Structure 1
Amino acid sequence: MISKATAEHYHWGEQCDGWYLLKRSDMSIIHERMPPVTKEVRHYHCQSRQFFLVLSGELTMELEGELHTLSAHQGIEIPPQAKHQAQNLSQHAVEFVVISHPTTRGDRIDIA
């Protein structure tokens, strides 16, 4: 069994947290937390397909120039090559799960 309490923890971006629930070369599942008014660097993945599922709070996902606002229990698929950026524009933390197939390790291209 694995949970946020027992998973490998790491920091990313602007004071954001991640916990590896599954860390394999063919798939990763990560529980992430973004504090209020934070965002990641806009980027894309060459091969990885991702699915973001919001657990609590509100996540704004910019996907190919279009903004999508997701609340708890809502998700969005990010296909390979799609430029995207996760953002927390709210005044409350957002927590979500990101499933990536295959893993995004070495497959991320940041956009300046």
Structure 2
Amino acid sequence: MKPVEAASENFYSWGEVCSGWRLLDLTHFQVRQESMPPASAEEPHMHRQAHQFFYVLDGQMTVRTPDGAVCMGPGQGLHVPAGQPHWVRNDGASDLIFVLSSSPGTSGDRYPVDPASWAAG
């Protein structure tokens, strides 16, 4: 066993401007550290199998669901159950850095959703 850290060998980019690091990449459990610059967002989606837990290290995270928006800062986390449509955004003025855990892993388990009918937020 050895410690793992965000480094060039486990780096990936996603979206147009976001970054990530694979800290643990098992079929049944994944842990990522991700970074989103201000005004960036992922595509609205859901996972049919994977539960996810977002934990903010720095910055401000907005998680939108059909029920509305949840805003979180450093030291706060949120469980997104399997089947829950969601959309993570950085509406803050600085980079958003967070840890994302998924169980099981999300490979092949990401489905786009249309947020047009979601509650405002």
TM over 0.5: yes
In structure 1, the residue matched to 2:47 is: 45
Cα deviation for residue 6 of structure 1 reads 5.8
Q: Is the 8 Å Cα contact of residues 18 and 33 (structure 1) preserved in structure 2?
A: yes
Aligned mate of 1:107, from 106, 109, 121: 109
The residue aligned with 1:25 is: 27
Query: Identical aligned pairs, as a percentage?
Result: 34
Deviations 1:59-110 (A, max 9, x none): 0001233100000010000001000000001121100000000000100001
Query: Greater share of strand residues, 1 or 2?
Result: 1
Q: Report the TM-score, using the length of structure 1 for normalisation.
A: 0.95
Unaligned runs of 5+ in 2: 115-121
Structure 1: segments with no counterpart, 5+ residues:
none
RMSD between aligned residues: 1.1
CA distance in 2, matches of 1:60, 1:77: 13
**Contact 1:59–1:70 (CA under 8 A) maintained in structure 2:** yes
**Between Structure 1 and Structure 2, how many residues are aligned?**
112
Larger radius of gyration: 2
* Whole-angstrom distance in 1 between the partners of 2:42 and 2:16: 7
Point out the structure with the larger helix share: 2
Partner residue, 2:18: 16
Shift of 1:14: 2.8
